[in-house]
């Protein structure tokens, strides 16, 4: 029992101490409150000053970081613009390269076609040149033949003009029995000469026409030799037709001469 009483007393004392301490804590003394408030103010001013300095430093750092961030954003935007420009330039370059490649293929195909066409034209011109050479040779032979005919006609015309005068002296070299016979022979020779005059004039005009036509043919041949490339085979046909015209004319004139001779006889 004593022990229990002691324990109760000790517990009561402890409860009293706890109550007193609790009351001191709840109701402090005025001196203690003044000293504690001063200490808290001093510590608060120190803390606010340090906080202000730290806050000012943080604000400065934040401003610097903002400026750096803005510069980096500007640089990033410039780099993006540059990348877009370079990408557009690359796309344009690729497009231009494709266009040039397409144009090169087209020009190559056109050049191949043009070369093939020019080769075909050259072959055609070579063939036409060979035809013109053969036509020129034939025309030269024809001109030589006409020249020979002209000289033959001219010789016959001269013989026809002078035949009476040659034959009459031979007749005059006879016996010379009578002068009347010589006079009659001279009259008949003059009449024959007058009758042969139209024939001789026709022959001379015919020979002049043939000479002029041969000369025109020679000039035409020279022109054809100078213009071999542009000439065509129809020109040779036209020349052949033109050559056939004087031959027909000569045949008609010969027929007219024969008819006149028959009428005179």
- pLDDT at residue number 153: 78
pTM for the full model?
A: 0.33
- pLDDT at residue number 167: 43
* CA gap 35, 9 in Å, rounded: 37
- Over the chain (265 residues), what is each successive 10-residue block's mean pLDDT? 68 66 54 55 73 85 92 94 93 93 92 93 92 86 82 70 46 45 51 50 58 71 69 50 54 63 59
The DSSP 8-state label assigned to residue 230 in this structure reads: T
φ and ψ at residue 176, rounded to 5 degrees:
70, 35
- pLDDT at residue number 177: 45
For 230, half-sphere exposure in the C-beta direction (CA atoms, 13 angstrom radius) is 4
Q: Give the per-residue SS3 of 111-175.
A: HHHHHHHHHHHHHHHHHHHHHHHHHHHHHHHHHHHHHHHHHHHHHHHHHHHHHHHHHHHHHHCCC
CB 129 within 8 A of CB 189: no
- pLDDT at residue number 124: 92
């Amino acid at each position: 029992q004593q022990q229990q009483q002691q324990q109760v007393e000790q517990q009561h004392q402890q409860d009293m101490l706890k109550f007193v301490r609790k009351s001191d804590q709840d109701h402090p003394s005025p001196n203690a409150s003044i000293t504690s408030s001063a200490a808290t103010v001093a510590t608060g001013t120190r803390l606010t000053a340090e906080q202000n300095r730290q806050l000012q430093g943080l604000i400065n750092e934040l401003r610097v970081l903002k400026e750096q961030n803005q510069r980096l954003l500007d640089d990033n935007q410039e780099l993006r613009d540059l990348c877009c420009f370079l990408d557009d330039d690359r796309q344009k370059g690729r497009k231009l390269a494709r266009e040039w490649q397409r144009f090169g293929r087209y020009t190559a195909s056109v050049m191949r076609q043009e070369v093939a066409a020019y080769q075909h034209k050259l072959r055609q011109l070579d063939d036409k040149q060979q035809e013109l050479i053969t036509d020129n040779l034939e025309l030269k032979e024809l001109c030589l033949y006409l020249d020979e005919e002209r000289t033959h006609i001219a010789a016959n015309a001269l013989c026809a003009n002078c035949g009476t005068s040659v034959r009459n002296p031979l007749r005059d070299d006879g016996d010379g029995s009578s002068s009347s016979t010589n006079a009659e022979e001279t009259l008949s020779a003059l009449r024959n000469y007058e009758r042969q005059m139209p024939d001789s004039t026709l022959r001379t005009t015919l020979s002049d026409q043939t000479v002029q036509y041969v000369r025109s043919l020679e000039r035409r041949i020279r022109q054809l030799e100078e213009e071999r490339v542009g000439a065509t085979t129809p020109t040779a046909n036209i020349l052949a037709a033109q050559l056939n015209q004087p031959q027909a004319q000569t045949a008609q004139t010969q027929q007219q001469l024969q008819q006149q001779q028959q009428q005179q006889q």
